[in-house]
Amino acid sequence: MRLFGTDGVRGVANQDLTPDLALSLGRAAARVLGGGHAARFLVARDTRLSGPMLESALAAGLMSAGAEVHLAGVLPTAGVAYLTERRSFQAGVMISASHNPVADNGIKFFAADGHKLPDAVEDRIEAEMQQTSPGPVGEGIGGLRHDPGMREEYLAHLTDLVSRPYTGGVVLDAAHGAATSVLPLAFSPAARRVAVLCAEADGARINVDCGSTAPGFLKENYQAFGGTLGLAFDGDADRLIAVDEEGEVCDGDVILALLATWLKGRGELEPAAVALTVMSNGGVRDFLAQEGIRPTVTRVGDRYVIEAMRQENILLGGEQSGHIIYRRASTTGDGLATGILLLSALEETGVRLADFRRRIPHYPQRLRSVRVGNRDQALSSLAYLEALASAEASLAGVGRVLVRPSGTEPVVRVMVEAQQEELADRWLQRLCDALVQKV
């Protein structure tokens, strides 16, 4: 099985993702990405309990191959991507499992240009892990530097994105994760009133009943803290989910559509196109088309969104989950940059987020993650294949089905979209039941 998934190397920390694996991964990455000479690597992490353990092992692996390691401490993923390019590091590394549970962790790499590594480069690193070449000794061993000043540099970049401060109040849910290192400093220039919930850098509570994966917490509490709007981030702050003025949750589809129309109105969306994934609701695609904005549809995963954006020179793209990429601000999903741009767009246009949400058709869409013992067997079972064929025949012309194995968790994700809620509910249940039947 390939070590790298859709978003780096992930697993249960100290079980799947062990210090030994991190050490080997660091050594191999230094050899592949270092260009054959003393290389500089930026390493940051979120707040997970396993973060310091993996950070130490990864840094040791990098240094054992002669690399110089700069530790930035707790920092959002997008900060790593931005600083890797800006400070001319050979590569950047983020230790985080993003929105995954506390026990999980991950290691993902950014190339010198701030973009995630292509599959071919990841394969080279994985192959290099099998080699036993001797490492340098004496002065050839790499060094270690702690560089907390990089946080301020990333904050200055975010401040530059503010075009017009939001005159309302905004309440931020930091999910006890990487965003805690930069909130509320990042949003103080972007809004008149700012409050932060789940702001403790507590790795035992990261993503637990809070953040973008559990926006109900923010929905219930943002008005009590003086908020007109709520913005929720995930563990590494690369996702953003909003709560509007009426307490309704606005996902990445709504945020992406609002930013697209705002940028188009400013003459800053050339070409007039947006990249989104097959998970995006059919209603947002229809809305964008009516606004004269061409939707380009990609596979699930922000790396595939970014790949399409680079190939077609598209400036804006994102996922329903809240990964939004605006290439003039970031090379990867950046929840903080997205939130700042969203506030500027609302203030500049005078539009209420709730009113904009109502303009977008929303076709009933049902999502469920199904935990199965063996994903390949479940997806090739007769019960599942028969249910899938029946669902596709029933929904032809009035809906669609999307079933895919997760790239970061041992589950199968099922999505059913239909023009009628009853159809979506019925076929979602039948497909999920089929997946867990004994093979």
| Mean pLDDT to the nearest integer, 274-297 | 93
For the chain, the domain total comes to 3
- Model pLDDT, residue 268: 95
In the numeric block, the tokens 């079972």 are attached to 381
Side-chain-side CA neighbours of 142 within 13 Å: the count stands at: 26
- 290 shares its domain with 344: yes
What span, in angstroms and rounded, lies between the C-alpha atoms of 318 and 304? 10
Decide which of 66 and 372 is more confident.
Answer: 66
Whether 155 is covered by a domain: the verdict is no
**What does the pLDDT look like over 423-435, one tens digit per residue?**
999 999 999 999 9
* pLDDT of res. 98: 94
The pLDDT score that the predictor gives to residue 149 is: 87
Task: Give per-residue pLDDT as tens, 58-97.
Answer: 999 999 999 999 999 999 999 999 999 999 999 999 999 9
Do residues 268 and 217 both lie within one domain? yes
CATH number of the structural domain spanning residue 334 = 3.40.120.10
pLDDT band, residue 126 (cuts 50/70/90): very high
Q: What mean pLDDT comes out for the span 329-357? A: 97
Q: Does residue 117 belong to any structural domain of this protein?
A: yes
Please report whether residue 4 resides in a domain: no
Provide the domain limits for residue 231: 161-359
Q: Which of 306, 337, 359 is the last residue of a domain?
A: 359
* Catalytic one of 98, 181, 321, 344: 98
The reply to whether 230 and 290 lie within a common domain is yes
Answer yes or no: is pLDDT of 38 > 90: no
pLDDT at 349: 97
What does the pLDDT read at residue 222? 95
Contact 353, 262 (CB under 8 A): no
pTM for the predicted model, two decimal places: 0.89
Task: Produce one character per residue of 78-94: b if its CB has 16 or more CB atoms within 10 Å, e if not.
Answer: bbbbbbbbeeebbbbbb
Amino acid at 216: G
Shared domain for 239 and 112, answered yes or no, is no
Is residue 334 in some structural domain? yes
Mean pLDDT of 140-169: 94
Q: Could you tell me if 421 and 119 are in contact, meaning their C-beta atoms sit under 8 angstroms apart?
A: no
204 and 344 co-located in one domain: yes
Question: Which of 105-119, 217-231, 336-350, 378-392 shows the lowest per-residue confidence on average (mean pLDDT)?
Answer: 378-392
Please tell me which residue, 419 or 406, carries the higher pLDDT value.
419
Mean pLDDT (the chain) is 94
Measure the CA–CA gap between 7 and 9, rounded to whole angstroms: 7
**pLDDT recorded at residue 401:** 92
What's the DSSP call for residue 408?
Answer: S
- Give the pair of three-digit tokens for residue 261: 């129309």
Instruction: Give the percent of the chain with pLDDT over 90.
Output: 82
Q: Are 117 and 187 members of one domain?
A: no
Q: Both 352 and 369 in a single domain?
A: no
Residue 153 placed within a domain = no
2 pLDDT higher than 90:
no
Cis-peptide, bond into residue 19, ω within 30° of zero = no
Cβ within 8 Å of residue 46, ≥6 positions away: 74, 94, 95, 96, 97, 177, 178, 203, 206, 235, 236
User: Within this chain, do residues 173 and 248 fall inside the same structural domain, yes or no?
Assistant: yes
Residue (of 355, 342, 337, 357) closest to 168 by Cα position: 342
Assigned domain for 242 exists: yes
CA angle, 164 then 327 then 31, to 5°: 135
pLDDT of residue 348: 97
The three-state secondary structure class of 397 is: coil
DSSP state of 148: T
The last residue of a domain, from among 359, 377, 394: 359
Mean pLDDT score, 226-252: 97
Amino acid type, 22 = A
**Where residue 246 falls among pLDDT bands split at 50, 70, 90?**
very high
Residues 341 and 399 in one domain: no
Minimum mean pLDDT range among 6-20, 83-97, 320-334, 391-405? 391-405
**pLDDT greater than 80 at residue 36:** no
Nearest to 312 by CA among 272, 265, 348: 272
Q: What is the DSSP string of 1-33?
A: --S-BBTBEEEEBTTTB-HHHHHHHHHHHHHHH
Phi, psi of 387 (to 5 degrees): -65, -40
State the pLDDT at residue 143: 95
pLDDT-derived band at 201, boundaries 50, 70, 90: very high
Cβ(146)–Cβ(170) below 8 Å = no
98 classed as catalytic = yes
Residue 260 bridge partners (DSSP): none
Helix (H/G/I), strand (E/B), else coil: 110: strand
pLDDT value at residue 301: 83
What CATH number is associated with residue 427? 3.30.310.50
253 with 312, same domain: the answer is yes
Sign of the alpha-carbon dihedral angle for 234, 239, 243, 248: negative
How confident is the model at residue 362, as a pLDDT? 86
Residue 188 has pLDDT above 90, yes or no: yes
Q: Please tell me whether residues 61 and 192 are part of one structural domain.
A: no
Same domain, 141 and 165: no
Distance of CA 284 to the CA centre of its chain: 20
Where does 13-154 show beta strands of DSSP type E?
40-45, 68-74, 91-95, 104-111, 144-146
Residue where one domain finishes, among candidates 332, 359, 386:
359
Give pLDDT, residue 407: 63
Tally of CB atoms within 10 A around 120? 7
